[in-house]
Chains A and B, each alone.
Chain A
């Protein structure tokens, strides 16, 4: 079994801010450690340093047992990567290199069939066998059957972009959990997974003997799986040796202890300064006191040189003010609505003020339903209309806003868009500050973390004056505190809320539920239903 030992890591951002300083912890053999922290605290950066993608400014990472990494973007792959390439990239470096050599040799053979090219190809194939490539292909077959229900040969050239986010995640997780690497770094492995998928993930993580360090914002997953919690905050990291259940208590106690230590240090500092001043005056009057004065000066200098203990990390303040407004009593009316090829016709009435959770397995058509309500083009039959004064505001699951990528939040707020007037820089910064985004106001949208992008989208909803919130997995990228702030904001929102979610904790805050069943049936429930299985469709 493997372990990860992080010691004295320091990382500075390009703008000179110290993101991480003196980060040290050890994840021992077979541990299942959660890495948590506020959005932008440096979790992903720390994972990248551990994975070897980033070189730390100071400190070192020691590890044994081979490292498998699942990156955050998996689930939203939209390029031309195919299943084969994806599985190769998840493999140990030796397998990856051998694969690349085989591919290069095959290309060379296409150019020229001479003896040299043939021998190079034979050598590449031998090496592929030597590094366990053929065994890896057998594993990939097991992986694709488990994740996609298809043998490897039948799907290896399939582009990843044709798979749902949940399928991409599951493919990666199956690959890593069945692979040879003993240490796994999983950056938000539960994103895009539906509830059965999350439960499956929980079981697999509980039964694996590998050492796992994972980032997650799912409170249920954290509670069930993590046996220790590494928190990145205040520019450093600390470890809670218990599970997530006792984490909040431990964190509060730590913050109080830090505040107390700091208070004592400040008091002692002030006492020494006062003493130096007193002795300075006494030394001026009596040369006998000069030695004591210099001794006290030295003592103060040494005290200051050691420096104060770390400060209590500042609490992230996120204040979302989703206002909404009074609309017609019937906010959404669906009559024999059928999204073509996705589900059977259904009727639904959603009333002003309702909090409706839209539940169901991946691929059941939940996101399409929300997009239809948001006024986007979605193939359908039957009727679907919004009530009087209902203004939809849509939060997209994958933050798919290519037009925003090269613009900054301040710029986007300043220009506005139809239905959302622009605001000046002062107001924009004030609004961004409430969402904990003031430091990122002039950063390009594409460089914001997933959680920061999510918070910015919620801010746009606030400014758009929407009276019907259509939220597609809003808590997926939000840290725990931001998710709680969103829950509070939704409670105070004067309007109607429809949210697609696989967050069991979040779902419990809703009044009723629209469930998209695996059999294509859409039905209402007063209790959250998380047991709908994956929708089976011909591929």
Chain B
């Protein structure tokens, strides 16, 4: 399940992850990727800032790979 979350402005953890995942998943819309990434970012709130970009990207990749239920 994905959550509708507010847009987080100027978050490198999000922008770089969206960029890379868009290239990795060309069949998925950029808007959908953005939504998954922001949801992951919100769920990982509280994680150490330095580790956040990697954590967000890995979790988002995992969710994009997962078959739709």
Interface residues of A (CB under 8 A from B): 113-115, 118-119, 121-122, 125-126, 128-129, 134
B 39-69 contacts with A by CB, 8 A: 43-44, 46-48, 51, 55, 58-59, 62-63, 66
Which residues on B sit within 8 Å (CB–CB) of A115? 59, 62-63, 66
Q: Are B48 and A113 closer than 8 Å at their CB atoms?
A: no
A-B CB pair tally, cutoff 8 Å:
30
Q: Are A125's CB and B48's CB within 8 A?
A: yes
Task: Show 15 A/B contacts (Cβ-Cβ < 8 Å), sorted by A.
Answer: A113-B62, A115-B59, A115-B62, A118-B62, A121-B55, A122-B44, A122-B51, A122-B59, A125-B48, A126-B46, A126-B47, A126-B48, A129-B47, A129-B48, A134-B48
Asked whether, in the complex, the Cβ of A114 is within 8 Å of the Cβ of B55, the reply is no
Sort A-B residue pairs by CB-CB distance and give the 8 closest, nearest first.
Answer: A129-B48, A122-B47, A122-B55, A118-B59, A126-B46, A122-B44, A126-B47, A125-B51
Question: Which A residue sits closest to B44, measured CB to CB?
Answer: A122
Count residues of B near A (Cβ-Cβ below 8 Å): 12
- SS of A interface (majority): helix
What residues of B have a CB within 8 angstroms of the CB of A114 in the complex?
62
Task: Give chain B nearest CB distance to A211 CB in angstroms.
Answer: 33
Contact indicator B58/A113 (Cβ below 8 Å) = yes
Complex CA distance for A121 and B66, rounded to whole angstroms: 19
Closest to A121 in B: B55
What residues of B have a CB within 8 angstroms of the CB of A129 in the complex?
47-48
Instruction: Look across to chain A and name the residue whose beta carbon is closest to the beta carbon of B62.
Output: A115
> How far is A118 from B43 in the complex, measured between Cα atoms in Å?
11
Rounded to whole angstroms, the CA-CA distance of A122 and B52 in the bound complex is 9
Of all chain B residues, the one with the shortest Cβ separation from A128 is: B48
| Min distance, Cβ A103 to any Cβ of chain B, angstroms | 15
Residues 11-42 of chain B, each 1 if its beta carbon lies under 8 Å from chain A, else 0: 00000000000000000000000000000000
Chain B residue, CB-CB nearest to A124: B47
Residues of A within 8 A of B59 (CB): 115, 118-119, 122
With a cutoff of 8 Å between Cβ atoms, the chain A residues found around residue B46 in the complex are 126
A125 engages B63 (CB within 8 Å): no
Q: Which residue of B lies closest to A114 (CB)?
A: B62
Q: Which residues of A contact B48 (CB under 8 A)?
A: 125-126, 128-129, 134
Least Cβ distance of B17 to chain A in Å?
13
CB distance from B39 to the nearest CB of A (A): 12
Residue of A with least CB distance to B43 = A119
Complex: how many Å from CA A303 to CA B44? 73
